[in-house]
Structure 1
Amino acid sequence: FQTQGPTMFGLILGLLVGNFVMLLVGRLFIKFGGLVTKAARHVVFPVTVTLCIVGTYAINSNFFDLEIMFIFGIIGYFMRKWGFPIPPLIIAFILGPMAEINLRQALIISDGSMRIFLVSPISLAFLILTFLSIAGVIYRKAKER
């Protein structure tokens, strides 16, 4: 802010103006957005699938991305058909890479020793809570049977 004041002022002013423009555009087109919910499924579904395919390919211009999209689509279909909850999979898919990186860093710091997770009282408490949660789910499932 001290050395690039005019640039920062222009950036913040641009963001502010952009927000007001988006508000006006949103107010004008909100009625059309509501019509999408009333459209027939046989119209909305192909358009949505086509946009998903085009968007997936457009990100990296790679057919492998399309293969991954179709594989996960099939997995999602069967998960829904067999009653598996989908949100935990999505959360794991998003948080998995971060957990892997942090696990690797912790193991590098500790020279490969898993004891690093038992040294801190906070990490030990989280491990105990994790095991209690898993044991509680197993106990409830066994009790239902």
Structure 2
Amino acid sequence: MLLGSVFDANSLGKWIYDWTVYHHGAATPISDMAGEMWLLLIQLSGKIKRSEEIVPKVRAQENREMIEDFIESGERLTDKLRTLLKRCEAPMLKASKKREAAQLGKNSGIEFVETLFGRERELEKTERFMQQVRLWNLRFDANCEDILKRPTQ
């Protein structure tokens, strides 16, 4: 949820990417980072959802527990994302109060991007979150993919 609106991973990632491209241009390192974040959000969400659907079919207790651990750690990453987004909301609201009604969305979106990817703001937390999702994805693929493909073995 961002400013009272509910987003799924894909629409949130697209929203972040679109505002970043609008503000910084398409062929920039920040826009590339926003595009990678979009992909990471889709991967994290998709793997959690798929795991939740298949875990009841996993026969081996040890394998089921591993999948459940990955689901829990993926949910913790999702909580970190929520915290990061909350930190970006206050500056958005502040920007919207400074502008005329016609400029609310534009200025708020730009302020969100500046907060999420700004060197003096939340860039370090954003980069850390993205690195944690990359690592989670690698570990998930190494440990869970085969189990999810053949849950009854």
Where on the TM-score scale, by shorter chain, does this alignment land: which range?
A: under 0.3
Higher alpha-carbon Rg = 1
TM-score by length of 1: 0.26
TM-score by length of 2: 0.25
